[in-house]
Structure formats: structure tokens, C-alpha cells
Amino acid sequence: MTAEIITSLVSAIIGGFIAGYFSLKATKQMITHENEKSHDEEERIEHGLLQALHDEIDIIWDRYSSMMAPKPESLPDSDPLLVYFPIHQDYFPVYRGNTSLVGRIRDNDMRRAIVGVYTKAAAMIDSFKMNNKLVAKYEYLHASFLSSKKEEDRQMLLVHLTALVVYANALKTSHFELKKDVTGLLHYFNKVSVISEKNR
């Protein structure tokens, strides 16, 4: 081998190493950039979801507090909740439309609190629907007794009234549990929101 061939070969090898090094470095930088973009996009989606969930819970809770909450809160333990609550719609469109994203919320405590509040809120709606049915049956039994004046109808009415009182107390307990959880979650939302704004 002549000196020229060896020099050319060494130059080619060194050139290949240099080209490979910079190519690898460029690829690494591109991957890092893509990961940062992906992370930023994930944060943006999560922040938007949390804001939307906060707004939905806040609005629904305000409406519930003004229209429905005063009834169970002021009800004596010995009384039935003889009130109809009109419930006909899906009150949680944001949550139901984004359940696949809720699992991507990184804060475990917040994710658990959100799922807990929506689960209890759905159960509360079911409880009010059931109470509506019990009230309707009570009114039917009351009308039957007024019409017949029979002792057996009066006894059926009293038994059903007792069941309504028991159900009203269970409904009150669920209401106060939900109120505590919603208040805590809204406070948590606001706390996290302030921290996130400071870090931006």
C-alpha cells in the first residue's frame, strides 16, 4: 500500500466517523425536539381539559345549589322530601365526551377526585329520580286513601311515607358528601391553576 492510499483510507474513515457523529447528533436533537413538542401538546390538552371540567362542575354546582340543594339541606330528619325535581338531560357533556382523556391527567389525586365527584353526582341524580317516583307513588296512595277511606289504604300510605322519610335522610347524607367533595375539588382546581400560571 502506498502512503497516498493509506492517507485516503484514513481520511475516508475519519470523514465517515465525523459525518456519522453529526448525523447522530442531528437525529438526537430532532428526537428531543419532537419529544418536547409532544410534551407541550400533552400539557396543552391536559390544561384545556382541566379548565373545561372545572367550568362544567362550577356551573352545574351553582345551578344545583340555587335550585335543588336548599330542599334537602333545610329538611328535618323526620320529614319526607315531597318535592319533584325535573331531571331530563345529560348534565355532564364535557366529562362524558372526554372520558378517554381523563385517564391521562397526571395528577393522581386530582384525577381520582374528578372521577369521584362525577360518580357521586350521577348517583345523586339517580337518587332524585328515585325520589320523584316515590313521591308519585305517595300521591297515588294518598288519593286512593282519600277516595276509599279504608284502613288498609291508610296503612299502605303510612308505610310508604316511612319509606320516603328513610330515603330522604339517605339522600341528605349523599348531598352533604357531594357538597364536601365538589367544594374540595373546586378549591384544588384553583390551587393548581395558580401554580400552573406562575410556572408559565
* Stronger pLDDT, 160 or 12, i.e. the higher one: 160
Domain extent for 145: 49-199
Q: Residue 115: inside a domain, yes or no?
A: yes
Q: Residue 187: inside a domain, yes or no?
A: yes
* Stronger pLDDT, 121 or 1, i.e. the higher one: 121
In the predicted model, is pLDDT for residue 31 greater than 80?
A: no
In the predicted model, is pLDDT for residue 99 greater than 70?
A: yes
Q: Are 137 and 108 in contact (CB under 8 A)?
A: no
Q: Residue 183: inside a domain, yes or no?
A: yes
Whether pTM > 0.85 for this model: the answer is: no
In the predicted model, is pLDDT for residue 95 greater than 90?
A: yes
- Cell digits for 95? 366529562
In the predicted model, is pLDDT for residue 104 greater than 70?
A: yes
Q: What is the pLDDT of residues 35-94, one digit of tens each?
A: 555 557 788 889 889 999 999 999 999 999 998 889 999 999 999 999 998 887 778 999
Give Cα 150 to chain centroid, integer Å.
Answer: 50
Q: Residue 165: inside a domain, yes or no?
A: yes
Q: Residue 88: inside a domain, yes or no?
A: yes
Q: Give the burial class of 72: count Cβ atoms within 10 A of its Cβ; 0-12 exposed, 13-18 middle, 19 or more buried.
A: buried
In the predicted model, is pLDDT for residue 173 greater than 90?
A: yes
Q: Residue 77: inside a domain, yes or no?
A: yes
Q: What is the pLDDT of residue 72?
A: 92
Q: Residue 8: inside a domain, yes or no?
A: no
In the predicted model, is pLDDT for residue 10 greater than 60?
A: no
Helix axes 151-199, 108-148, angle to 10 degrees: 160
Number of domains in the chain: 1
Q: Residue 2: inside a domain, yes or no?
A: no
